[in-house]
Amino acid sequence: MILQDKTILIANISGKRSTGWAIAQSLAKQGAKIAYTYQNERFGSDVKKLFEPLDAIDVGECDVTSDEDIDKLFERLGNSVNVLDGLIHTPAFAKQEDLSSNFVNTSRDGFRLALDISCYSLIALCKRALPLLEVRGGAVTALTYIGGEKAVKNYNVMGVAKSALESSIRYLALDLGPKNIRVNAISAGPMRTLAARGLKDFMVMYELIKDKAPLKRNINPSEVGDTASFLCSDLASGITGEIIHVDAGYNTIGV
Ligand SMILES: NC(=O)c1ccc[n+]([C@@H]2O[C@H](COP(=O)([O-])OP(=O)(O)OC[C@H]3O[C@@H](n4cnc5c(N)ncnc54)[C@H](O)[C@@H]3O)[C@@H](O)[C@H]2O)c1
Protein backbone atom coordinates (compact mmCIF):
# COMPACT_ATOMS: atom_id res chain seq x y z
CA MET A 1 0.00 0.00 0.00
CA ILE A 2 1.62 3.22 -1.18
CA LEU A 3 -0.26 5.66 1.08
CA GLN A 4 0.10 3.97 4.45
CA ASP A 5 0.33 6.55 7.29
CA LYS A 6 -0.65 9.43 5.01
CA THR A 7 -3.59 11.75 5.69
CA ILE A 8 -5.26 13.29 2.65
CA LEU A 9 -8.04 15.88 2.45
CA ILE A 10 -10.48 15.54 -0.47
CA ALA A 11 -12.11 18.87 -1.20
CA ASN A 12 -14.68 17.91 -2.21
CA ILE A 13 -17.06 15.04 -2.95
CA SER A 14 -20.59 15.34 -4.35
CA GLY A 15 -21.76 11.70 -4.30
CA LYS A 16 -21.12 8.19 -5.52
CA ARG A 17 -20.83 9.25 -9.16
CA SER A 18 -18.28 11.98 -8.46
CA THR A 19 -14.62 11.81 -9.38
CA GLY A 20 -13.90 12.75 -5.77
CA TRP A 21 -15.45 9.47 -4.61
CA ALA A 22 -13.49 7.46 -7.21
CA ILE A 23 -10.35 9.08 -5.84
CA ALA A 24 -11.39 8.43 -2.22
CA GLN A 25 -11.81 4.71 -2.93
CA SER A 26 -8.34 4.42 -4.45
CA LEU A 27 -6.69 6.44 -1.65
CA ALA A 28 -8.39 4.24 0.95
CA LYS A 29 -7.32 1.07 -0.87
CA GLN A 30 -3.74 2.36 -0.73
CA GLY A 31 -3.93 2.83 3.05
CA ALA A 32 -4.55 6.61 3.32
CA LYS A 33 -6.55 8.17 6.13
CA ILE A 34 -9.10 10.39 4.37
CA ALA A 35 -10.59 13.67 5.48
CA TYR A 36 -13.48 14.81 3.29
CA THR A 37 -15.68 17.81 2.74
CA TYR A 38 -18.75 18.65 0.66
CA GLN A 39 -20.23 21.84 -0.73
CA ASN A 40 -23.31 21.85 1.52
CA GLU A 41 -25.68 19.56 3.45
CA ARG A 42 -27.60 18.76 0.25
CA PHE A 43 -24.57 16.64 -0.73
CA GLY A 44 -23.51 15.93 2.84
CA SER A 45 -26.08 13.28 3.74
CA ASP A 46 -25.21 11.07 0.71
CA VAL A 47 -21.49 11.60 1.10
CA LYS A 48 -21.53 10.70 4.82
CA LYS A 49 -23.28 7.41 3.97
CA LEU A 50 -20.60 6.58 1.39
CA PHE A 51 -17.89 6.99 4.02
CA GLU A 52 -19.63 4.92 6.72
CA PRO A 53 -17.54 1.77 6.02
CA LEU A 54 -14.29 3.78 6.04
CA ASP A 55 -12.54 5.26 9.05
CA ALA A 56 -12.57 8.77 7.58
CA ILE A 57 -12.77 12.30 9.00
CA ASP A 58 -15.88 14.30 8.12
CA VAL A 59 -14.71 17.92 8.03
CA GLY A 60 -18.17 19.23 7.17
CA GLU A 61 -19.42 21.58 4.51
CA CYS A 62 -17.47 24.24 2.70
CA ASP A 63 -18.56 26.60 -0.04
CA VAL A 64 -15.30 27.53 -1.74
CA THR A 65 -16.60 30.98 -2.76
CA SER A 66 -16.47 31.92 0.95
CA ASP A 67 -13.12 32.66 2.63
CA GLU A 68 -14.89 32.31 5.97
CA ASP A 69 -16.04 28.78 5.06
CA ILE A 70 -12.51 27.81 4.01
CA ASP A 71 -11.06 29.25 7.24
CA LYS A 72 -13.59 27.29 9.30
CA LEU A 73 -12.89 24.11 7.32
CA PHE A 74 -9.22 24.23 8.25
CA GLU A 75 -10.00 25.17 11.85
CA ARG A 76 -12.11 21.99 12.11
CA LEU A 77 -9.49 19.90 10.29
CA GLY A 78 -6.80 21.23 12.64
CA ASN A 79 -8.82 19.91 15.59
CA SER A 80 -8.52 16.36 14.17
CA VAL A 81 -5.08 16.24 12.55
CA ASN A 82 -1.74 17.96 12.98
CA VAL A 83 -0.28 17.00 9.63
CA LEU A 84 -1.61 16.71 6.08
CA ASP A 85 0.18 14.73 3.36
CA GLY A 86 -2.16 15.48 0.50
CA LEU A 87 -4.93 17.75 -0.76
CA ILE A 88 -7.23 16.78 -3.63
CA HIS A 89 -9.08 19.65 -5.33
CA THR A 90 -12.25 18.92 -7.35
CA PRO A 91 -14.58 21.98 -7.37
CA ALA A 92 -15.70 23.22 -10.79
CA PHE A 93 -18.74 25.21 -11.82
CA ALA A 94 -20.04 27.34 -14.68
CA LYS A 95 -23.50 28.73 -15.26
CA GLN A 96 -25.62 26.53 -17.48
CA GLU A 97 -26.20 29.35 -19.97
CA ASP A 98 -22.45 29.82 -20.35
CA LEU A 99 -22.07 26.14 -21.27
CA SER A 100 -24.85 26.12 -23.84
CA SER A 101 -24.59 29.53 -25.51
CA ASN A 102 -21.77 30.77 -27.76
CA PHE A 103 -18.57 31.62 -25.85
CA VAL A 104 -18.74 35.22 -27.06
CA ASN A 105 -21.90 35.65 -24.96
CA THR A 106 -20.17 34.79 -21.65
CA SER A 107 -21.35 37.25 -19.03
CA ARG A 108 -18.97 39.09 -16.69
CA ASP A 109 -20.68 37.47 -13.73
CA GLY A 110 -20.54 33.99 -15.31
CA PHE A 111 -16.83 34.44 -16.04
CA ARG A 112 -16.12 35.62 -12.49
CA LEU A 113 -18.07 32.76 -10.92
CA ALA A 114 -16.49 30.02 -13.08
CA LEU A 115 -12.96 31.28 -12.42
CA ASP A 116 -13.62 31.79 -8.70
CA ILE A 117 -15.00 28.30 -8.04
CA SER A 118 -12.94 26.33 -10.56
CA CYS A 119 -9.56 28.05 -10.19
CA TYR A 120 -9.20 30.54 -7.33
CA SER A 121 -10.50 27.93 -4.87
CA LEU A 122 -7.31 25.92 -5.43
CA ILE A 123 -5.15 28.87 -4.37
CA ALA A 124 -7.39 29.65 -1.38
CA LEU A 125 -7.36 26.02 -0.20
CA CYS A 126 -3.59 25.68 -0.64
CA LYS A 127 -3.00 28.83 1.43
CA ARG A 128 -5.06 27.50 4.36
CA ALA A 129 -3.62 23.95 4.01
CA LEU A 130 -0.02 25.16 4.04
CA PRO A 131 0.66 24.97 7.82
CA LEU A 132 -0.47 21.31 7.81
CA LEU A 133 1.13 20.38 4.46
CA GLU A 134 4.55 21.81 5.30
CA VAL A 135 4.95 19.68 8.44
CA ARG A 136 6.52 16.86 6.42
CA GLY A 137 5.93 17.91 2.79
CA GLY A 138 2.91 16.89 0.76
CA ALA A 139 1.14 16.67 -2.56
CA VAL A 140 -1.67 18.78 -3.99
CA THR A 141 -3.62 17.33 -6.92
CA ALA A 142 -6.36 19.06 -8.92
CA LEU A 143 -8.53 17.91 -11.82
CA THR A 144 -8.57 19.45 -15.24
CA TYR A 145 -9.76 18.71 -18.76
CA ILE A 146 -8.37 19.04 -22.29
CA GLY A 147 -10.72 22.01 -22.76
CA GLY A 148 -8.08 23.99 -20.83
CA GLU A 149 -5.52 23.34 -23.58
CA LYS A 150 -7.66 23.32 -26.72
CA ALA A 151 -10.98 24.91 -27.63
CA VAL A 152 -13.60 22.19 -27.04
CA LYS A 153 -17.14 22.85 -28.27
CA ASN A 154 -19.55 23.82 -25.45
CA TYR A 155 -16.83 23.76 -22.75
CA ASN A 156 -16.55 27.54 -23.15
CA VAL A 157 -15.78 29.48 -19.96
CA MET A 158 -14.95 26.27 -18.14
CA GLY A 159 -12.08 25.81 -20.61
CA VAL A 160 -10.77 29.26 -19.71
CA ALA A 161 -11.09 28.39 -16.01
CA LYS A 162 -9.16 25.14 -16.57
CA SER A 163 -6.38 27.05 -18.42
CA ALA A 164 -6.10 29.35 -15.40
CA LEU A 165 -6.15 26.34 -13.08
CA GLU A 166 -3.33 24.66 -15.02
CA SER A 167 -1.26 27.84 -14.92
CA SER A 168 -1.95 28.11 -11.17
CA ILE A 169 -0.63 24.56 -10.78
CA ARG A 170 2.72 25.68 -12.19
CA TYR A 171 2.89 28.85 -10.07
CA LEU A 172 1.88 27.01 -6.90
CA ALA A 173 4.47 24.30 -7.67
CA LEU A 174 7.14 27.00 -7.94
CA ASP A 175 5.97 28.70 -4.73
CA LEU A 176 5.55 25.62 -2.58
CA GLY A 177 8.36 23.43 -3.96
CA PRO A 178 10.92 24.72 -1.42
CA LYS A 179 8.62 23.39 1.33
CA ASN A 180 8.63 19.99 -0.40
CA ILE A 181 5.00 20.41 -1.44
CA ARG A 182 4.32 19.13 -4.94
CA VAL A 183 1.43 20.49 -7.01
CA ASN A 184 0.04 18.65 -10.04
CA ALA A 185 -3.17 18.17 -11.99
CA ILE A 186 -4.76 15.19 -13.68
CA SER A 187 -6.29 15.99 -17.06
CA ALA A 188 -9.01 13.35 -17.18
CA GLY A 189 -10.90 12.09 -20.20
CA PRO A 190 -14.69 12.41 -20.07
CA MET A 191 -16.43 10.49 -17.29
CA ARG A 192 -20.18 10.16 -16.91
CA THR A 193 -20.52 12.11 -13.67
CA LEU A 194 -23.64 14.16 -12.91
CA ALA A 195 -21.81 17.42 -13.63
CA ALA A 196 -20.50 16.18 -16.98
CA ARG A 197 -23.92 15.02 -18.09
CA GLY A 198 -25.06 18.64 -17.73
CA LEU A 199 -22.71 19.62 -20.58
CA LYS A 200 -24.47 20.08 -23.90
CA ASP A 201 -23.82 17.11 -26.27
CA PHE A 202 -21.66 15.38 -23.63
CA MET A 203 -22.61 11.88 -24.84
CA VAL A 204 -21.75 12.76 -28.46
CA MET A 205 -18.25 13.74 -27.33
CA TYR A 206 -18.04 10.68 -25.08
CA GLU A 207 -18.73 8.32 -28.01
CA LEU A 208 -16.40 10.23 -30.35
CA ILE A 209 -13.46 9.93 -27.97
CA LYS A 210 -14.04 6.19 -27.73
CA ASP A 211 -13.44 5.92 -31.47
CA LYS A 212 -10.44 8.26 -31.65
CA ALA A 213 -8.39 7.57 -28.49
CA PRO A 214 -5.40 5.24 -28.97
CA LEU A 215 -6.82 2.84 -26.36
CA LYS A 216 -10.20 2.81 -28.23
CA ARG A 217 -12.19 3.34 -25.06
CA ASN A 218 -13.09 5.92 -22.49
CA ILE A 219 -11.43 5.92 -19.11
CA ASN A 220 -12.79 4.51 -15.89
CA PRO A 221 -12.94 6.99 -12.95
CA SER A 222 -10.94 4.44 -10.93
CA GLU A 223 -8.01 5.14 -13.29
CA VAL A 224 -8.12 8.79 -12.23
CA GLY A 225 -8.30 7.62 -8.61
CA ASP A 226 -5.23 5.42 -9.03
CA THR A 227 -3.28 8.25 -10.68
CA ALA A 228 -4.21 10.54 -7.78
CA SER A 229 -2.93 7.86 -5.38
CA PHE A 230 0.34 7.68 -7.31
CA LEU A 231 0.74 11.48 -7.30
CA CYS A 232 0.09 11.63 -3.54
CA SER A 233 2.60 8.87 -2.89
CA ASP A 234 6.36 8.98 -2.47
CA LEU A 235 6.63 7.16 -5.81
CA ALA A 236 5.93 10.56 -7.43
CA SER A 237 8.46 12.44 -5.27
CA GLY A 238 10.17 14.03 -8.29
CA ILE A 239 6.99 15.20 -10.07
CA THR A 240 5.61 18.71 -9.65
CA GLY A 241 4.03 21.41 -11.80
CA GLU A 242 2.77 18.73 -14.20
CA ILE A 243 -0.50 18.10 -15.98
CA ILE A 244 -0.79 14.31 -16.25
CA HIS A 245 -3.27 13.09 -18.86
CA VAL A 246 -5.47 10.13 -17.96
CA ASP A 247 -7.51 10.08 -21.15
CA ALA A 248 -6.75 6.81 -22.95
CA GLY A 249 -4.19 8.81 -24.96
CA TYR A 250 -6.72 11.11 -26.64
CA ASN A 251 -4.60 14.28 -26.17
CA THR A 252 -1.68 12.76 -28.07
CA ILE A 253 -3.32 12.30 -31.45
CA GLY A 254 -3.52 14.68 -34.41
CA VAL A 255 -6.44 14.99 -36.80
N1 LIG B 1 -16.54 14.31 -15.44
C2 LIG B 1 -15.64 14.57 -16.39
O3 LIG B 1 -15.79 14.18 -17.54
C4 LIG B 1 -14.39 15.33 -16.03
C5 LIG B 1 -13.30 15.30 -16.92
C6 LIG B 1 -12.16 16.02 -16.61
C7 LIG B 1 -12.08 16.74 -15.43
N8 LIG B 1 -13.17 16.74 -14.58
C9 LIG B 1 -13.05 17.53 -13.37
O10 LIG B 1 -13.20 16.69 -12.24
C11 LIG B 1 -13.66 17.48 -11.13
C12 LIG B 1 -14.84 16.81 -10.48
O13 LIG B 1 -15.93 16.83 -11.38
P14 LIG B 1 -17.00 15.66 -11.52
O15 LIG B 1 -17.24 15.45 -12.97
O16 LIG B 1 -16.61 14.53 -10.66
O17 LIG B 1 -18.34 16.33 -11.02
P18 LIG B 1 -18.81 16.73 -9.55
O19 LIG B 1 -20.09 17.45 -9.76
O20 LIG B 1 -18.82 15.57 -8.66
O21 LIG B 1 -17.67 17.71 -9.07
C22 LIG B 1 -17.76 19.09 -9.07
C23 LIG B 1 -17.62 19.50 -7.64
O24 LIG B 1 -17.62 20.92 -7.55
C25 LIG B 1 -18.22 21.22 -6.34
N26 LIG B 1 -18.60 22.64 -6.28
C27 LIG B 1 -19.25 23.39 -7.19
N28 LIG B 1 -19.46 24.64 -6.70
C29 LIG B 1 -18.91 24.67 -5.45
C30 LIG B 1 -18.82 25.63 -4.42
N31 LIG B 1 -19.30 26.86 -4.56
N32 LIG B 1 -18.19 25.28 -3.27
C33 LIG B 1 -17.69 24.04 -3.09
N34 LIG B 1 -17.76 23.08 -4.03
C35 LIG B 1 -18.35 23.39 -5.19
C36 LIG B 1 -19.42 20.29 -6.27
O37 LIG B 1 -19.94 20.20 -4.97
C38 LIG B 1 -18.79 19.02 -6.75
O39 LIG B 1 -18.26 18.27 -5.68
C40 LIG B 1 -13.98 18.87 -11.71
O41 LIG B 1 -12.88 19.73 -11.49
C42 LIG B 1 -14.14 18.58 -13.18
O43 LIG B 1 -13.90 19.70 -14.00
C44 LIG B 1 -14.31 16.04 -14.83
State yes or no: 63 annotated in a binding site.
yes
CB atoms within 10 A of CB 55: 8
Tell me, using a 6 A CB cutoff, whether residue 23 lines ligand 1: no
* Ligand 1 atom, smallest distance to 89 CA: 41
Is residue 189 over pLDDT 90? yes
Instruction: Assess whether the C-beta atom of 116 lies below 6 angstroms from ligand 1.
Output: no
Q: How many C-beta atoms surround the C-beta of residue 214 within 10 A?
A: 11
162 is in an annotated binding site: yes
85 pLDDT above the threshold of 80: yes
Question: How many angstroms separate the alpha carbon of residue 45 from the centre of ligand 1?
Answer: 18
Q: Is the pLDDT of residue 252 over 90?
A: yes
**Element housing 23 (H / E):** helix 19-29
47 assigned ligand-binding residue: no
Average pLDDT, the chain: 97
pLDDT at 197 over 90: no
Catalytic residue among 36, 145, 171, 250: 145
255 — pLDDT class (breaks 50, 70, 90): confident
| The model's pTM | 0.98
- CA atoms lying within 13 Å on the CB side of residue 228: 33
Quote the CATH superfamily of domain 7-248: NAD(P)-binding Rossmann-like Domain (3.40.50.720)
Residue in 69, 90, 119 to alter for ligand 1 test, most ligand atoms within 8 A of Cβ: 90
| Confidence at residue 195, expressed as pLDDT on a 0 to 100 scale | 83
Amino acid 127: pLDDT = 98
Position 36 scores a pLDDT of 98
Task: Considering only residues 254 and 65, tell me which one the structure prediction assigns the higher pLDDT.
Answer: 65
Residue 120 is among the residues annotated as catalytic for this protein: no
Question: Contacts by 166-172 with C-beta closer than 8 Å and gap 24+?
Answer: 166/243, 168/119, 168/122, 168/123, 169/122, 169/142, 169/241, 169/242, 169/243, 170/241, 172/122, 172/123, 172/126, 172/140
* CA of 38, closest atom in ligand 1: 37
- Whether 224 is in the pocket of ligand 1, judged by its Cβ within 6 Å, is no
Structural domain spans, the chain = 7-248
Could you tell me the sign of the dihedral formed by the alpha carbons of 23, 27, 28, 34, in that order? negative
Ligand 1 center–CA 53 separation, angstroms: 23
- Quick check: CB of 91 below 6 Å from ligand 1? yes
